[in-house]
Structure 1
Amino acid sequence: MAITGPTITELNLIAKSLCMDLSDSDLELHLSLLQPNLAAYELIDSLPDNVPFVTHPRTSGYEPDLEQNELNAWHRKVSIKGEKSGLLAGYKVVLKDNIFLAGVPMNNGASTLQGYIPEYDATVVSRILNAGGEIVGKAHCEYFCLSGGSHTNSKHSVKNPYNPLHSSGGSSSGCGALVGAGEVEMAIGCDQGGSIRIPASWSGCVGMKPTWGLVPYSGIMPIENTIDNAGPITNNVENNAKLLQAIAGHDGLDPRQYRQGVDDYLTSLKSNINDLKIGILTDGFNRPESEEDVDKAVLDAIQVLSKLGASIDEVSTPWHNIGQSIWLAVALEGLTDQMMLGNGMGRGWKGLHSTSLIDRHSSWRMRANELPNNLKSCLLTGQYMLEKYNGHFYAKAQNLSRRLTDEYDKLLSHFDILIMPTTPMKATPIPTADDDEALHVQRAFEMIGNTSPFDTTGHPALSIPCGIRNGLPVGMMLVGNHFDEATLYRAAQAYEQSTDWKAV
C-alpha cells in the first residue's frame, strides 16, 4: 500500500489525541521530522511479508446447504489431503472457523469479517496435514468466539446433536456438534474461557484444553495472548490423545510457548490407574447455577474411577470461586485491547502476525452495531475499565492469577487430578427471538464458572462424557499439573473403557 504522510490538520488532531498542544511552527517542525520515519515505512512496505508457505494443494471448498448442514455446524466444506502416511492417516479433521486455512474463507462467526480469506495455514493445520490427516472443513463458531452458548453466530444458531432445541456449547460450537453427531471424528477447537470443554460437555465429546503454550496458536485469530489455547475435540480419548500428539510442540512462532518437549500421550493410555490420587474439588459442585443431576452423574463417575483403583478424597479452595472474577478482568480488558482495538493481533509480542487480518478486521468499527449484545457488553465493560482505571485491574488480575495458580498447585502437590463437573448444568435451550435480550446474554456466560479459572492459570483440563440426563450429555472435567496431559488421558481412558456413558 502507498504510504502517505499526515497533513498539518491530521498531525494536529494526532497531537491533541496525545494530550499535546502544538503551535503552528511546532507542527511544521514535526512534519519535517516525520519524513525520515515515513521513508523507513516505505521500505518495509516494499518488502515481501515473511509468512509460512502453503504446501498442500486445495480449493476454497463450498458452503453446504441446509440438507447437508442440519445442525448449522458447517461453515465450509473442503477436502485438503495431507501426506500419504502418518499418525493421522485416514482421519478427517474439521477446524474451528477462527483458524487460518489458506485460500478458504474465514468468518470467525462474525458478519463483519465475512469475505476474509487467510493467505497461510496455521501451524496446527500444517501439522495435521504433515501427519497424514485430511482437513474436511471449517466449523461455525460464535461471534469472535465470545460465547459459551451456540446462539451468537452471525449465520444462525448451532444446534445440539442430542436435542436441536438446545445449545451445542460454545464457542467451538460447530466442532462440538459435528463430533457429537458423528459427522467427523476429530476437530480443533480453541479455548479462552471454556470454549473447547463446554461444547465437549454439552455435545457428548472428549475435549482437551492443553497446558497454555503446549499447542502453538500461530495462525489462529487471538482473543488475548495470555488465555489463548487450541486443542482437540474428538469422539473418544484415544483419538484425542492422537490428535494432541500430532499438533503439540514448539513452532518458533508463538511466544505463548515456553517448553520444547512433548510427552508420549498414546503410551500413557495403556497404564492402569491404581497409583492415581484424585481430589474431588467440592467448590465445583453445588454452585448456585448447578443442576443436581449433573453433580450426581459426575460423583457416580468418580466412584467408577475409585473401583478401578484410584484413591479418592475431597478437597477445597475458596480461590476456585474467585477465579472467574480474575479471569473476567483479564479477558474483558485484554480482548478489548488486543482483539478489538488492536485489530485482532495487538502489539507487544514477537511471533507470527497477520497483516491481512489486521487490515480486514479493523473495519469492525464501521459496523459495530452488528455485534451481538454479549460482545457489546464485554467491550463496553473492557473499554470503561481501561479508560476509567488505566488498566489497573487488568494488571492486578494478572498478578492475582499467579496466586490462583499457586492455590491449585498446592492441591495438585497432593493429588494427580482434580475433578468436578465441566459445566454445572446440561445444555441450555437456545434462546429465541421472542426471549428477552438479557437472557441471550445470560445464555452466553452462565456456564463458565468451572472452566474459566483454568484458562487464567494455564492448567490442562479435559472434559469427558459421563452420562446422559433428560436426553442431554453430562461432562466431567479432569484437571492436572502443567504439561501432565498424559495423566489426564490415562484416567479418562480407564473410565471410558470401563463404562458406556450413554447408558449411565
Structure 2
Amino acid sequence: MSVKRPVKADFLIAAQDHGYDLSDSQIESFLSLADETLGSYEAIDALYAAHVAQPTPVREHSKPANADNLHGAWYVKTHITGAASGPLAGRTVVIKDNVSVAGVPMANGSLSLDGYVPSEDATVVKRLLAAGATVVGKSVCEDLCFSGASFTSASGAVKNPWDLTRNAGGSSSGSAVLVSLQEVDMAIGGDQGGSIRMPSAWSGIVGHKPTYSLVPYTGAFPIERTIDHVGPMANNVRDCAVMLDVIAGADGLDSRQKNPPAVSCVATLDQGVAGLKIGLLREGFAIPGMSEPQVDALVKAAVAQLESLGATVGEASVPWHHGVALDMWNVIATDGAAYQMLQGNGYGMNVDGYYDPEIMSYFGAKRREHANTLSSSVRAVALTGHYSLKNLHGASYAKARMLVPELTRQYDEAFKDFDVLVMPTMPFVATPLTAADAPIEEYVHSALNMLANTAPFDLTGHPATSIPAGLADGLPVAMMIVAPRFQDALALRVAQAYEQVRGVFPRPPRG
C-alpha cells in the first residue's frame, strides 16, 4: 500500500507542536529523510498483507427489529455453533460489542467504530466456541465503554429490565440485560471501572471481574492496558464459574499476562463457607452523599446468612478505599484512556504482544469523522486527558501508578485477617436514565458517579464477584465479594454458598 508523503505544511504543524524553529531548507531536508523512512512503512504493509493478515469469514448476522429489542440490548444477532461437546455444550452466549467476533459487525457503542467487521475471533470467543457454546449475538455496550450507566451508546439507551425508565448499568449494559431477561444463558462483559459488576448489580444477575490478567484480553477493544479486564456474566454462580474455567489462562498473545496460574473454580464451588473469615469493608458502607441505607442493610443481611452457615464475620478497614482509590483511578483512566484508547487508537504502542492494525486504522479515521457524536463522557476524557498530557507531561499518571502498590498492600493487609472482603457492589439502586441532551455536567456525573466500590479493584487487580442480595423498592441490590489475587475460586465459592441459602432470585417483572 502506498503511504501518503507529508508536505511542508504537515511538518510546519509538527515542528510547532514540538517547539522546533526550522528554516524552509531544514524542513525540506527532513521531508527528504521522511520520504526514505516511509519506504519502510510501505514494505511493512506488504509483508503484513502477505504473512499476517487474514481474510474475513462470512458469518450470517442480522440487526433485530425494534419490536424485538424493546430494552435496546441487542446490537446484532447471529448463530455461531461451537464444538459438539464440552462444558458449555448447548449453552447460548452473547458477546459484549467491544469484543471481536470474526465476520460480525462491531461498534463498541460508538459511531466511531460502527460498520467495522473483525477478521478474527477474540481469544475468549475462540475458547467459548471450543467449549461447545453457541454465540447468538453481540450485546450493546456504552460509547467506547466509558460509562457506568446505560444511556451513552450511539444506538440509544439500554433499559433496565426491572424498570424501563432506569439505568441497567454499564458499560456491559446489553450483556446484563439479556442475561437478566433470560434471552441468553450467559454473556461476556468487560471491566475497567466496574463494567461487569455494575450492570450485573443493577440488572439482578451474577458478574465476576477476574483477577487482572487471568483472562486474556486479546481481541477486545482496549481502554487502558493496566485496568482492562474481561469476564463472565450469568444468572447463577455456577455458570459464571464454568465460564471462567473455560476462558481463563494465558494465550501467549496478551501482554497483560505473565504466566497466570491455572484455575479450577468449579472444583471448589460447593465447599461452603464454614470456617472462613468474612470482612465487612468499613469504607465500602455508609459512603457520605452516596450510600443508601437500604442497600447497606440488605448486604449486611446477606452476610448474616453466610455467618449462619459457619463463617466468621468482622469489620475490615482499608483507609484508601474511599476517596483516595477513586482519585487514583480518575487519573489513570483519564490519562491512560486519552493516551492509549484515543491517541493510540485502542492499542497504543511500546509493548510486546497482540495488536490489531485493522481496527486501529478504522477507528483512527472514524473517530475524527464522527468526533461530534462521541458521548460527553468520552469527550470529557479526551479534553482533560489531552490537557493533562500536554501540560503535566504524563507525570500525574506516573505518580498514580506508583501509588497503586500501596493501595494493593492495604487490601492485602486486610486479607491477612480475612479470607474475603464484602461490600455493596453499588452504593445505591439503579438511577433514572439521563436524557441524551442533558447538560454536560449532569450527563457526565450520571455516567460515572457510581464507581466508588468497584473501580479500586480494577487498579489492584483483585477478583470480585457481584451477586444479587435482595430488592429495595423493587430494584436489585448486590453484594460484592472480593478475594486475594488469583483466588477467583474463593470469591465464587462464597457467592455460591450465599446463592444456595438465598434461593432463586426473582426475575424482573418485564422479563
User: TM-score w.r.t. structure 2 length?
Assistant: 0.95
Inter-CA distance 31–434: structure 2 relative to 1 (3 Å threshold): closer
Give the aligned length. Answer: 503
Q: Tell me by how many angstroms 1:14 deviates.
A: 2.8
Contact kept in structure 2, 1:468 and 1:501, CA below 8 Å? no
Give the CA deviation at 1:501: 6.0
Alignment-derived partner of residue 200 in structure 2: 200
Shift of 1:202: 0.4
Show CA shifts across 1:311-349 (max 9, x none).
110011220011111011000010001111111211111
Retained in 1: the 8 A contact 2:189–2:230? yes
Gaps of 5+ in 1: none
Q: 1:23 Cα deviation (Å)?
A: 2.6
Deviation at 1:371, TM superposition (A): 1.4
- Whole-Å Cα distance in 1 between the matches of residues 434 and 24 of structure 2? 57
Alpha carbons 1:468, 1:503 under 8 Å: kept? no
CA shift at 1:374, angstroms? Answer: 1.8
List aligned pairs for 1:73-222, cutoff 5 A.
73-222=73-222
Q: Is the counterpart of residue 380 in structure 1 residue 383 in structure 2?
A: yes
For 1:452 and 1:149, the matched residues in 2 are separated by 14
Deviation at 1:51, TM superposition (A): 5.2
- Structure 2, unaligned runs of 5 or more: none
Deviations 1:234-253 (A, max 9, x none): 11000000001110000011
Q: Report the residue type matching 1:446 in the other structure.
A: N
Q: What's 2:410 paired with?
A: 407
Change (3 A) 1:22 1:432: closer
Deviation string 1:247-271 (CA, Å, 9 cap, x unpaired) is 0000011010112432111011121
2:443 to 437, 440, 443: 440
From 331, 334, 337, give the equivalent of 2:333.
331
Partner of 2:424: 421
Q: Deviations over 1:99-137 (max 9, x none)?
A: 011111111001222111111110001011111111100
Q: C-alpha root-mean-square deviation of aligned residues, in Å?
A: 1.8
The match for 2:291 is: 290
1:206 and 1:463 in contact (8 A); partners too: yes
Offset, 1:388? 1.8
Contact persistence 2:295–2:428 (CA under 8 A): yes
Q: Could you say if the C-alpha distance between residues 433 and 247 of structure 1 is closer, same or farther in structure 2, counting changes exceeding 3 Å?
A: closer
* 1:497 matched residue in structure 2: 500
Q: Which of 438, 456, 470 is the matching residue for 2:473? A: 470
Aligned residue for 1:188, secondary structure, equals: strand
Q: Normalising by structure 1, report the TM-score.
A: 0.96
Change (3 A) 1:415 1:54: farther
User: Cα gap change, 1:48/1:388 in structure 2, threshold over 3 Å: closer, same or farther?
Assistant: closer
Partner of 2:421, secondary structure, is strand
Q: Is the 8 A contact 1:52 1:120 kept in 2?
A: no
Cα distance per residue 1:383-429 (max 9 Å; x no partner): 22112211111110001111101111110122110000000011111
Alignment map for 1:29-44 (pairs within 5 Å): 29-44=29-44
d(CA) in 2 for partners of 1:343, 1:391: 18
Q: Secondary structure at the match of 2:167?
A: coil
CA distance in 2, matches of 1:33, 1:53: 33
Q: Mark the CA change 1:51 to 1:81 in structure 2 (over 3 Å): closer, same or farther.
A: farther
Corresponding residue for residue 264 of structure 1:
264
Give the partner amino acid of 2:328. Answer: I
Task: Give the aligned residue type for 2:150.
Answer: S
Indicate whether 1:395 and 2:398 are aligned. yes
1:369 is aligned to 372
Report the identity percentage.
45
In the aligned structure 2, how far is the partner of 1:433 from the partner of 1:142? 13
